Every structure is written in C-alpha cells, then in structure tokens.
Homo-oligomer: A and B are copies of this chain.
Amino acid sequence: MTISKNKARIPVQKRSIETKEKILNAAWELFAEKGYFKTNTNELAERAGIATGSFYGYFNNKKEVGIELMMRFYKEVSKKALSNFYIQIGDNVAENLDTGRKLVRFIIKSLKESHAINPLLHKETTALILLDEDVRNISSEEDKKIIAFLITLLQQHKQLIRVDDIEAAAVLLFRTSDEIIHRIMIHKDAIDEDRLLKELEDMICSYLFITVS
C-alpha cells in the first residue's frame, strides 16, 4: 500500500503528543525485544497503555511506526553528526593529515552512536528496509542527505584528498562504515570490535588521503 488513507491525526494537543510518544516507546521496546514482525498491534497498544483501536488514531498502520522509529536513527545521525560537527572538529580546519584521520574517526563515531542507541531495533529497521519498498524509498532519501553531507565534508577537505570521484567516495565511505558498524553491533563476528574498527579507519584513510609513505 503506497497510498495511505491518512486517517491518523497529527497530534497537536499535549496529551495527543504524549500518547503518540507512548506508542513509539512501546514499539521501541517491543521491536527490539521480539522484532517488528513478531510484535502485533494488540501488544503494541497494551504496552503503550492504550486500547487497540486507539493505536489507529495515531498511526495508519503498523508500518508507519517502523518508519517513524527508523527516522529516529536518521535524526540521531544528523543531530550528532551534522550539528555538532564544527564543535568537535574545530572551525578553522587545520589542513593536515591529522585532521583527515580526525574526520574519519568522527564519521565512524557518529554512525556508531546512532547504531548504539538500540542495536536490535536498528537491525529490525535494516530488515524492514530490505523487505518493504516504501520503507526502502524513505530510507534511500535519508541516506542521500547523509551522503550529500559527506560530499560537502570531503569537498571542504579537498586539499587532503587524493580521490577524484568524491561522490563515489562518499557513498563508499558511508556504506562501508555503516556496514562494519552494523556487523559489530549485530552479528558479533568472531573478530574483536576494536581491531576491526582500527582497520576500517586505516582503510578509509589510506584510500582518501595522500599518505606520506
């Protein structure tokens, strides 16, 4: 269903906003505990402390809750990464390799933090992206914003970067980091987290920056 009937109200009143928040919090917990598909709307309502039917006053369907939760992760990336960037990197970017590594570390750290909020829920969201076209499209749009930001970032450090195709590099940088972090959080590959993240950082740096051998 791509067309929504949109009967769910947009909450304005304080109590309404609170109710919506209660539902999202319930989903936050339950989707992490049992998974998106194994959680049903009755449980969701019950955990939120509302009646089954009331749920549909705030969301048109279950999927919408999944989407809203997914957006929280994106907001987290934005909030952490975008707004706080200059605070952490410094305004007058010192143009040297050290800054480059700092930059990469910062990106990895931001993504890691967004995954860390609720790793199991993040996993569910990832599955939903794979399984549902609507969700995938929304996620795709958000990804584009992140990538656009990364492009800007890389362009701001052009003098450090030896890669010509900045756009492709940004995509590569984002996908690669996100995947490795995801693996660490979810799949618990046999390998140690720190070792893997160190290599990730090294890989990206050796790729992006002009290294003095």
Binding site for B on A (CB under 8 A): 35, 37, 123-124, 126-127, 130-131, 136, 140, 143-144, 163, 165, 167-169, 171-172, 175-176, 179-180, 183, 186-187, 189-192, 195-196, 198-200, 202-204, 206-207, 210-213
Contact = CB atoms under 8 A, between A and B. Distances in A.
Contacts of A165: 195, 198-199
Contacts of A206: 206-207
Given A126-B130, A127-B127, A186-B130, A200 B172 contact: yes
Nearest to A176: B176
B207 A202 contact: yes
A187 B143 CA distance: 11
Contact of A213 (B123, B143, B207, B213): B213
21 contacts: A126-B130, A127-B130, A130-B130, A143-B189, A144-B190, A165-B198, A167-B195, A168-B191, A168-B196, A171-B183, A171-B191, A171-B196, A172-B199, A175-B180, A175-B189, A176-B180, A176-B203, A179-B179, A203-B203, A207-B207, A210-B213
A169 B169 CA distance: 20
Contact of A187 (B131, B140, B169, B190): B140
A179 B37 CA distance: 24
A35 B131 contact: yes
A145 to B, nearest CB: 12
A36 to B, nearest CB: 8
B196 A172 contact: yes
